Amino acid sequence: MTNQTVKIGVLALQGAVSEHLRSLERAGAEAVSVKRTEQLDGLDGLVIPGGESTTIGKLMRKYGFIERVREFSEAGRPIFGTCAGLIVLAKEIEGQEEPHLGLMDMKVARNAFGRQRESFETDLPIKGIEQPVRAVFIRAPLIREIGEGVEVLATYNEEMVTAREGHLLVSSFHPELTDDYRLHEYFAGMVREFKSGAAKG
């Protein structure tokens, strides 16, 4: 199962797309830049990268991605949202009436760590990964509340920053901006499990 080839897309509407592609390839996946909805058909998993969540949400609506990504998720195909991608996946966003995808049972706060000048790096212990992962926080969101089915994988200063709900994975930070690709490797493992039918998220 470990050597099974999986095809993972990175939503290429905004954000650090090439860095995610590189990290996924290092994690042993075939990585594809996704700019059109029909590209979702051939994928085993999807990454929604950082950027500006409102802009990403608008572009997803404009190009027909909202319904198609919801269908992708309903089929049990894994999705990994980083930074703004975490906000896009959330069922509830503080100070905003409507969610974007509304898939993951959590309430999130945008820019909870402050503005760009308050960006920082840290070594973050993550459940399921042996050694701490190098995490880059840039105007990062926070997970404020979670539903019963959501498992917290990492906290920073007692705040939730990485979580998983079945086939959905999120991180407040940017795992693609370092040479540490182990969180991408973790996600690729989720995708392999889905593909092999070993886990039904």
Nearest to 57 by CA among 105, 111, 99, 113: 99
The rounded distance, in Å, linking the Cα atoms of 166 and 67 is: 20
User: Can you give the C-alpha Rg of the chain in angstroms?
Assistant: 15
| Catalytic residue numbers, as ranges | 83, 174, 176
Angle among Cα 43, 89, 60 to the nearest 5 degrees reads: 65
In contact, 13 and 35? CB cutoff 8 Å: yes
In contact, 40 and 15? CB cutoff 8 Å: no
Both tokens of 35, joined, read: 């700019």
Nearest to 21 by CA among 12, 68, 37: 12
The rounded distance, in Å, linking the Cα atoms of 65 and 75 is: 15
In contact, 168 and 73? CB cutoff 8 Å: yes
Nearest to 139 by CA among 158, 171, 111, 106: 111
